Amino acid sequence: MIPVPGSVHAMNELSASSRITYRAVRVRPGVARRIRGLSDKTLAWLFITPTIVLLLAINIFPLLWTIYLSFTNYRANRANVPTIWLGADWYQSILTDPDIWAAMQVTAHFVIWTVVIETVLGFGLAYLIDKKFRGHGLWTTIILLPMMLSPAVVGNFWTFLYQPQIGLFNYVVAFFTGRAASSFQMLGDVTLSPWAIVIVDAWMWTPYVMLICLAGLRSIPDYIYEAAEVDRASKWRQFWSITLPMALPFIMLAVLFRAIENFKMFDMVNLLTGGGPGSTTEVASITLKRAAFESWRTGYSSAFAIILFVTVFGLANIYVKALNKVKSR
Partner 1 sequence: MTSATAAHSVVEPTATTRRFAGSLVVLYALITMIPLAWIVLTAFKSPDDAISYPPKVMFKPSLEGFCNLFTTRSRQTPEFIRSLGPPQGLCDSIARDRNMVVAGPSNYVPRFINSLIIAFGSTVLAVALGTLSAYGFSRFRVPLKDDLLFFILSTRMMPPIAVAIPIYLMYRTIGLSDTRLGMILLYTSVNVSLAVWLLKGFIDEIPREYEEAAMIDGYTRFQAFVKVVLPQATTGIAATAIFCLIFAWNEYAFAVLLTSGNAQTAPPFIPIIIGEGGQDWPAVAAGTTLFLVPIVVFTVLLRKHLLRGITFGAVRK
Subset of 52-71 contacting partner 1 (CB under 8 A): 52, 54-55, 57-63, 65-66, 69
d(CA 1, CA 14): 18
Work out how close the CB of 186 gets to partner 1 at its nearest, in angstroms, rounded to a whole number: 13
CA–CA separation, 67 and 316 (whole Å): 20
Interface with partner 1 in residues 24-43 (CB under 8 A):
25, 35-36, 38, 40-41, 43
Q: Which of 161/192 has CB closer to partner 1?
A: 161
Binding of partner 1 by 184 (CB under 8 A): no
- Of 109 and 264, which CB lies nearer to partner 1 in the complex structure? 264
State the minimum distance, in angstroms, from the CB of residue 151 to partner 1: 7
Residues in region 252-311 near partner 1 by CB under 8 A: 253, 257, 260, 263-264, 266-267, 270-271, 284-285, 288-289, 292-293, 298, 301-302, 305-306, 308-309
What are the backbone dihedrals phi and psi of residue 85, each rounded to the nearest 5 degrees, phi first? -75, 125
Residues 6+ apart with CB under 8 A from 93: 300
Cα–Cα distance, 196 to 273 (Å, whole number): 9
CB of 2 to partner 1, least distance (A): 8
Indicate the residue among 102 and 323 with the shorter CB distance to partner 1.
323
Whichever of 53 and 112 has its CB closer to partner 1, that residue is: 53
Write out the H or E segment, with its range, that includes residue 216. helix 193-218
DSSP state of 239: I
The 3-class SS string of 247-279 reads HHHHHHHHHHHHHHHHHCCCHHHHHHCCCCCCC
User: 90-109: which residues touch partner 1 (CB under 8 A)?
Assistant: none
Residue nearer to partner 1 on the CB measure, 10 or 190: 10
18 is a site residue for partner 1 (CB under 8 A): yes
CB of 280 to partner 1, least distance (A): 19
CB atoms near residue 109 (< 10 Å): 17
Q: Which stretch binds partner 1 (CB under 8 A): 92-100, 108-116, 184-192, 214-222?
A: 214-222
Q: C-alpha angle 121/122/123, rounded to 5°?
A: 95
* Among residues 215, 233, 244, 246, the one that binds partner 1 under rule CB under 8 A: 215
Which range binds partner 1 by CB under 8 A, 88-96, 97-105, 108-116, 200-208?
200-208
- Minimum Å gap between C-beta 47 and partner 1 is 4
Nearest in space to 283 (alpha carbons), one of 110, 113, 115: 110
Are 304 and 94 in contact by the 8 Å Cβ rule? The answer is yes
Q: State the DSSP H helix or E strand holding residue 326, giving kind and residue range, or none if neither.
A: helix 298-327
For the packed helices 244-263 and 98-129, what is the interaxial angle rounded to 10 degrees?
140
- Exposure of 261 by Cβ count < 10 A (0-12 exposed, 13-18 middle, 19+ buried)? middle
Q: Before 151, cis peptide (omega within 30)?
A: no
Residues between 114 and 143 with contacts to partner 1, criterion CB under 8 A: 121, 125, 128-129, 131-137, 139-143
Using CB under 8 A, which residues numbered 140 to 169 contact partner 1?
Answer: 140-154, 156-158, 160-161, 165-168
| CA pair distance 105, 109, nearest whole angstrom | 6
**CB-CB contact of 224 with 237 (8 Å):** no
- Residue 232 found at the interface with partner 1 (CB under 8 A): no
Minimum CB–partner distance for residue 189 and partner 1 (Å): 19
Q: Give the residue with the Cβ less far from partner 1, 168 or 190.
A: 168
Nearer to partner 1 by Cβ, of 193 and 211: the residue is 211
